[in-house]
Amino acid sequence: MGNSKAYPVLRTTDAAEAYRQAGRLCALLRNVEDKVWLFAEPATVREVRAIAAIAPGLPFDYAGTRTDPATGGRLRFDLDVTALDDAALAGHLPLTFSEDVERERVEAGILAALGDGMVSVEWHGRWPDDADPDVDWSSKYDGIQVLFHGDLAQWGDWTEEHTVFVHVTKWGDLPLARELAAHIGSEVLGEAQLGW
Position 2 confidence tier, pLDDT thresholds 50, 70, 90: confident
Its pTM surpasses 0.95 = no
- Alpha-carbon gap, residue 167 to 123, rounded angstroms: 10
pLDDT at 133: 52
Average pLDDT over residues 159-168: 97
User: Does residue 132 surpass a pLDDT of 50?
Assistant: no
pLDDT at 48: 98
User: Does residue 6 surpass a pLDDT of 50?
Assistant: yes
Where on the phi/psi map is residue 2: left (φ > 0), alpha (ψ -120 to 50), or beta?
Answer: left
pLDDT in tens, 60-119: 999 989 999 999 999 999 999 999 999 999 999 999 999 999 999 999 999 999 999 999
User: Does residue 128 surpass a pLDDT of 90?
Assistant: no
pLDDT at 5: 96
One-letter identity of residue 80: D
Please return the burial class of 145, using the count of CB atoms within 10 Å of its CB with bins 0-12, 13-18 and 19+: buried
pLDDT at 85: 97
